[in-house]
Copies of this chain bind each other. A is one copy, B any other.
Amino acid sequence: MTLALEPVDGIGEVRPGDDVAAIIAEHATLQDGDVVVVTSKIVSKAAGLAAPDKEQLLAEQTDRVVAERGGTRIVRTHHGLTMAAAGIDASNVETGSFLPLPPDPDASAREIRAGLARLTGCRVAVVVSDTAGRAWRNGQTDIAIGCAGLLPLDPFTGREDSYGNPLLVTAPAVADEVAGAAELASGKLGRRPVVVVRGLDERLLTEDDGPGAASIVRDEDSDLFGLGSREAVVAALAGPSRGFPITDAAPEDIVGLAAVPDGVTVTVDGATIQIESADPVAAGEIRQRLLALAHAHRLEVSVEASDAR
């Protein structure tokens, strides 16, 4: 099986009001089973989303701040995407103009897919891609922010490897790999915002639109990296906040993590933790420690320190 990626040439500037499916149908020769990868940029341009005020766009797109460093603000968008500057883009747009992500990239993918079916008679899948930074690694890759007609995750659960070992946890993020591969084929500088991927395992293609790229977004409650490490500390000290995963920790667990020193007594009674110490400064330290640990574990407790003198 050969996988072939063909960038679509001849697409010029996309303008507000343009029909993205019509533009693709005009310039590409499609076949049943093709995956059409479209940059979010031309989807947003066609939707007329460009605006001059980056700060206002950022505020509108931001669900919450995840981490900050220097001038860079990594936020979780309303889509659930974690991206620097909410994915707002100033490259390949008119100078002084900023382009946010489409408000519903899965809906955009479905629309383009339906348009291509109508215009070309071909049953294709559509991926809407954007460029994102990653934790732990330099550089960016293109990822799928919208998807229709393709399984975004290939669930291996229940299948076996060639030794008969069950494959329990692996689920390749197919749509993200498709988006990254398309980026390789297009090259950002050439203004080729559409790439056709041919030869993908047909097992991955779906008759209906499928679950969309929203299904690749990790649920906030299970995300271990919902805050930068520094921001997590600031958040836990400030009080209950989003960005920490759900745990099943009990008050006893956080007492165990608090490294209570000799001379300080901590007792747990239901959701109340009581601290006693002849040294009230030490009692205050343990109180703050327990409160921060409770916030980080999303545990609701009250922590009382009594001055035992």
Which residues of A are at the interface with B, using a C-beta cutoff of 8 A?
1-7, 67, 69, 74, 81-82, 90-95, 131, 134-143, 152-154, 156, 159, 161-165, 167, 170-174, 176-178, 180-181, 183-185, 187-189, 191, 199-201, 215-218, 223-238, 243-245, 247, 257-259, 280-289, 292-293, 295-297, 305, 307
Contacts and interface: CB of A to CB of B under 8 A. Distances in A.
A178 B7 CA distance: 16
A190 to B, nearest CB: 8
A95 B139 CA distance: 37
A146 to B, nearest CB: 14
A135 B69 CA distance: 18
Nearest to A69: B224
Copies of this chain present in the complex amount to: 2
B137 A234 contact: no
A110 B38 CA distance: 35
A201 to B, nearest CB: 6
Nearest to A7: B1
A174 B184 contact: yes
A192 to B, nearest CB: 9
B189 A183 contact: no
Nearest to A307: B281
Contact of A189 (B162, B177, B292, B307): B162
Secondary structure type dominating chain A contacts: mixed
Contacts of A216: 137-139
A189 B136 CA distance: 28
A87 to B, nearest CB: 12
Contact of A234 (B94, B257, B305): B257
Contact of A224 (B67, B142, B183): B67
Contact of A170 (B1, B140, B153): B140
Contacts of A233: 232-233, 236, 292-293, 295-296
A186 B281 CA distance: 61
B159 A189 contact: yes
Given A5-B3, A234-B296, A284-B281, A82 B136 contact: yes
Nearest to A243: B229
